Amino acid sequence: FNSGGMVIEPSEALYRSLIEASSTLQSYDGSDQGFLNQFFNKWWEAPSANRLPFRYNVPQTLALYYPPGWRKLLEDGIAILHFAGDDSMKPWSFSGVVPPSLASLLAL
């Protein structure tokens, strides 16, 4: 799963488990996402009601590779736009030149 947008019910026990695991459990990619995927390694077995709807993790490139889905999400409302990819794809790396993958977002 992607840890950029996730919901965890506050729990002292879960907090303690995460802290304890952080000293021994290796992240497969060196990030929080790799650690959390290792910790919650059976997340896909949870009921689908435990997962956020797609509108909460919409990749900015969707407009390029699936325009009908992008248009539908624009109608329904995007809750979280996920700027996935290398740093040139991130809003904080904006240099004044709009990469083609972001140009379609200007309508937002």
pLDDT tens sequence across 56-94 = 999 888 888 888 998 899 899 999 988 877 777 777 776
Q: Annotate the chain with three-state secondary structure.
A: CCCCCCCCCCCHHHHHHHHHHHCCCCCCCCCHHHHHHHHCCCHHHCCHHHCCCHHHCEECCHHHHCHHHHHHHHHHCCCCEECCCCHHHCHHHCCCCCCHHHHHHHHC
101: amino acid identity, one letter? S
**pTM for the whole structure:** 0.67
Which residues lie closer than 8 Å to 98 by C-beta, 6 or more apart?
106
In sign, the C-alpha dihedral spanning 93, 32, 6, 61 is: positive
Residue bearing the bigger pLDDT, 15 or 50: 15
Pairwise CA distance, residues 34 & 31, whole Å: 5
Q: What is the mean pLDDT of residues 36-50?
A: 90
